[in-house]
Amino acid sequence: MEVSLGERFDMPAVLVLGAGEIRELVSMGEALGVVEKAFRLGAEGKAVMPSKLYLELPDYHGDFRAMPCYVDGIAGLKWVCAYPDNKRRNLPSVIATIILSDPKTGCPLAIMDGTYITEIRTGAAGAIAAKYLARRNSSVVGIIGAGVQARTQLMAISQVLTEVGVVKVFDQNKDASLKYVRDMEAKLNINVCAVETVREATEADVVVTATPSTTPVVSRQYIKAGTHINAIGADARGKQELEGELLKSAKVVVDDFEQACHSGEINVPLSRGTLKVDEVYGTLGEVVANAKRGRENDQEITVFDSTGVAIQDIACARFVYEKAKGRKGSVSR
């Protein structure tokens, strides 16, 4: 007796892309435009994006995060992990894979490395925040932490703030600071110098914090009027880089309210009651979409709380997919 297992279908070919191909397919300049559009679409209600789902694995000193989204005509999921100890294994501490699907049929369209997309889209988001929230004549950037995000933040910011001429970097690991200086001076032709303290790094027009800290590294007293801060490091519950008093004195813009409340820079002050939700100004998408104003004067302290949202990833992955799908040898069944 023959048993039918159901009708057979010819599924569309799936594009498979590795990290090397992706680096060739999207530049930082292109990512800036894609990410800015994605934030605008999100604010206009043209995207569907649940908050990150965390799978915590304390026995392995890491966690996984599932980030689904629909934006700009495509559906997708980023499956990303954070393993701080990977540095000792000569592996990235953040590793990601992205799946894209056709929202009309549910058919898979692409599977691609998401690690570089994660790096570049986070840098792009920080630059978009600086575009709307930093002073136009900002010329000095202070970087705290000298890892991957410290690099992509500067790469992106230097494209939107064209008067940047001096960069000061601080890292607890002096060798990491010195390597950052060598790498970024060669890449961007900007004067980059290593400094000895966090306070020296914060004597800047734009400050980027890109550390995994769970205790504040930047105090209110360090920050002068008119400074813009990109707070990049806090992406899980309990992480905090900025003193609560600094947040209370600033115009705080988040990438996503729900995510920021449970895993962003504002999560600890909110849990302790030192900051209230209604003291958060709004989202970056609202600013990009002109629903709320960005910087309103040269004295404001502004903060962008970046948790990393799926619309950034899936919009960039869509851009890569559209450029790559005609290439020979990239398709598998």
pLDDT tens for 310-326 read: 999 999 999 999 999 87
Range of the domain at 211: 134-307
Residues 66, 164, single domain; the answer is no
Same domain? For 189 and 320 the reply is: no
Residue of 121, 129, 124 whose CA lies nearest to 294: 129
Q: Which pLDDT does position 13 carry in this prediction?
A: 87
Strands 108-113 and 251-254: what pairing? unpaired
Mean pLDDT by 10 residues, the chain (333 residues): 60 91 96 98 96 92 96 97 92 96 96 97 98 97 96 97 96 96 95 97 98 94 97 91 95 96 93 93 98 97 97 98 76 43
> Which candidate in 52, 78, 131, 239 is catalytic?
78
216 with 89, same domain: the answer is no
The string of pLDDT tens digits covering residues 75-113 is: 999 999 999 899 899 999 999 999 999 999 999 999 999
| 253 domain residue, yes or no | yes
Tell me, yes or no, whether 155 and 214 share the same domain.
Answer: yes
Query: Which domain CATH number covers 30?
Result: 3.30.1780.10
What is the pLDDT, as a whole number, of residue 325?
A: 86
pTM (predicted TM-score): 0.92
Q: Angle of helix 310-324 relative to helix 28-43, nearest 10 degrees?
A: 130
Residue 333's pLDDT is what?
37
What's the confidence (pLDDT) of residue 330? 45
Looking at the fold, whether 159 and 260 belong to one and the same domain comes out as yes
Could you give the number of structural domains in the chain?
2
Tell me the H-state helices in the chain.
Answer: 19-25, 28-43, 115-133, 148-160, 174-188, 198-202, 244-248, 257-263, 267-272, 284-288, 310-324
Number of Cβ within 10 Å of residue 222's Cβ equals 20
Active site residue 78: yes
Select from 23, 116, 84, 34 the least CA-distant residue to 288.
Answer: 34
